[in-house]
Amino acid sequence: MKATFNLMGLGSLVATLFLAMSLLPLTCTGVTAAEIGASRMALERKYGTPHSLGKDYVFDPRDGWETVNTTNLLYKYSTPAHSDLEPDDDSYDSSASSSLQPRAKKSTTKKTSSKTAAKKTSVKSTSKKLASSAGSVLSGGLTKIISSIKGIGKPEPVTITWYTGHDLLNPSCWDNPNWHPTDASFAAALTLSGWTTKPKCFKFLELCHTSQKCVFVRVVDSCAGCAHGSKHVDLTKAAFSALADLNQGLLTVQMRQATEPKEGWVENYWGPK
């Protein structure tokens, strides 16, 4: 009987220790699932919503700004009938310039695995990143997010369009991509060749339609169909529509390079770090 009691006591002790160890990560981080969710939503609202530089802000080349023409000239996608990614046609422009060619001219050797791999993002890794950023967001509010990414850099005159469908696959900035942007991402593809001073892969850009309507994007891809030597920035639909209606044919914007975010990271917007 005594031996049985000791075994039962030992079992109870082991169970208590196991429970304490399982709760230790939550105690150490001090971040709950609800707080992580709040952090994610706060980051997405900040980086996915057009921001303002102030009503009286003046665009000055000394601050890295350049006035550029922006269009939504489409490429008249010729997606194969068997493709599982159909292009959107809600902004088809029959008068678009024929000088722009379909940009999906990248190697297809990696395509069979990229879509599957993109769906297998590690939940554990994502939760860990969110837990890390949640503390800073919740402790400092949105003020830290607002100042976490800033426009800098040398001005570059560019043409800006938007892309969708199969062109989103296999972003060329990664050798073996396991992620690709979606229509909801804030990403950009730059002219493949001839633009000698173009921003490098993974750099951030700030684009402004007016001083009260600006957005940040990250360079993740190249545009093989963009004219050689042209200064061309191809935007995802979310990024373009943050500046103007997708049906708008031509507008003038300001562009400059930007810093990386100091607080928080939204992978579905920009891809892995």
pLDDT band for 112, please (50, 70, 90 cuts): very low
Q: How many helices (H) and strands (E) does the chain have?
A: 7, 8
Q: ∠43-46-52 over CA atoms, to 5°?
A: 165
Prediction pTM value:
0.60
Q: Can you read off the two tokens belonging to residue 205?
A: 């850009």
Task: Report pLDDT for 52.
Answer: 65
Which of 45-54, 76-85, 157-166, 254-263 is predicted least confidently? 76-85
Residue 182 one-letter amino acid = T
What is the end-to-end Cα distance of the chain in Å, rounded? Answer: 60
pLDDT for position 253: 76
pLDDT value, residue 269: 95
- Helix (H) / strand (E) containing 190: strand 187-191
Domain tally for the chain? 1
Q: Return the CA Rg of the chain.
A: 23
Judge whether residue 238 has pLDDT over 90: yes
Cα–Cα distance for residue pair 178/117, rounded to 1 Å: 5
Evaluate whether residue 129 is within a structural domain: no
How many CB atoms are closer than 10 A to CB 183? 16
40-54, 89-103, 148-162, 240-254: the lowest-pLDDT one: 89-103
Give pLDDT, residue 250.
62
- Per-residue confidence (pLDDT) for residue 33, from 0 to 100: 72
Residue 38 lies in a domain: no
Which of 24-28, 195-199, 268-272 has the least mean pLDDT?
A: 24-28
Cα separations in angstroms, 93 against 12, 151, 159? 71, 32, 17
| pLDDT on residue 239 | 92
Is 249 contained in some domain? Answer: yes
47 sits in which H/E element: helix 33-48
Classify residue 131: in a domain, yes or no: no
Tell me what percent of the residues of the chain surpass a pLDDT of 90.
22
pLDDT at 21 over 90: no
User: Is 251 inside any structural domain?
Assistant: yes
Write down the pLDDT at residue 67: 52
Is residue 223 in a domain? yes
Instruction: Let me know if residue 11 belongs to a domain.
Output: no
The amino acid that residue 10 corresponds to is L
Instruction: Supply the CATH number for residue 73's domain.
Output: 2.40.40.10
Q: Can you tell me the distance from the alpha carbon of 55 to that of 53, in angstroms, rounded to the nearest whole number? A: 7
**Residue 153 belongs to domain spanning:** 52-78+92-122+149-270
List Cα–Cα distances, 48 to 74, 81, 98, in angstroms: 23, 33, 32
Q: Name the residue type at position 53.
A: L
Banded pLDDT at 177 (limits 50, 70, 90): very high
In this structure, is residue 141 part of a structural domain?
no
CA distance 159 to 240: 12
Task: Give bridge partners of residue 151 from the DSSP assignment.
Answer: 258
Q: What is the pLDDT of residue 85?
A: 39
